[in-house]
Amino acid sequence: MLQFWVHYGLHFGFPLVLALCFFKQNWIKAYLIMLLAFVIDLDHLLANPIFDPNRCSINFHPLHSYYAIAVYFILLIPKKSRLFGIGLVAHIIADTADCWLM
């Protein structure tokens, strides 16, 4: 149960805290853009089974690979992709914490 709360707390709470702290005037827009990072979970559809509670996503799924994570950090540099990049990195942090709790 702890793993559930940490995982989803980080997925939804961490971007919310970042939006409220660093994008005060447009926090709703920033939060929604960061939540769009959930699109990388589409790679779970390629796995069999699609969901395995005992599987670490990091470096298992293509969009959770170390190469993809490097691209997500590069997306932090240009201003136009920064919010989405923050959402992607926050998503990877949440998934990493999930792996540690296994």
Read off the pLDDT of residues 41-89 as tens digits, 9 standing for 90 and up: 999 999 999 888 889 999 999 999 999 999 999 999 999 999 999 999 9
The whole-model pTM stands at 0.91
Q: Which percentage of the chain shows pLDDT scores above 70?
A: 100
pLDDT bracket for residue 8 (50, 70, 90): confident
Provide the angle, in degrees to the nearest 10, between the axes of the packed helices 66-74 and 82-101: 140
